[in-house]
A = this chain, B = another copy of it.
Amino acid sequence: MEWSTVIGNVAAVLTTFSFVPQVLKTIRTRDTSGISLPMYALFVTGIGFWLIYGLMTNSQPIILANSITFVLAGIVLVFKIRSLR
């Protein structure tokens, strides 16, 4: 495996799984006051586009990483929307 591929994989794992502690914190505390709704709305939409891009270019790492991020960031978005009611 080339060095750049190793670095790219490390990057993908870090940015994908970084959302795990946020999801756990949000589920535990339900505190979403400091979290920006437009950020998560734009971010989850953008991850959806990355997923379509991965499917169109048949890129397994992009499909895998963005499927996981879509679910994780989606959970935070749902909690934020619920808190506004």
Contacts and interface: CB of A to CB of B under 8 A. Distances in A.
Interface of A: 3-4, 7-8, 10-22, 24-26, 29, 31-43, 45-47, 49-50, 52-53, 56-57
* Contact residues of A: prevailing secondary structure: helix
A24 B36 CA distance: 9
A73 B56 CA distance: 28
Contacts of A25: 34, 36, 39
Given A7-B53, A52-B7, A14 B34 contact: no
Most buried by B among A8, A13, A16, A19: A8
Nearest to A30: B34
A26 B18 contact: no
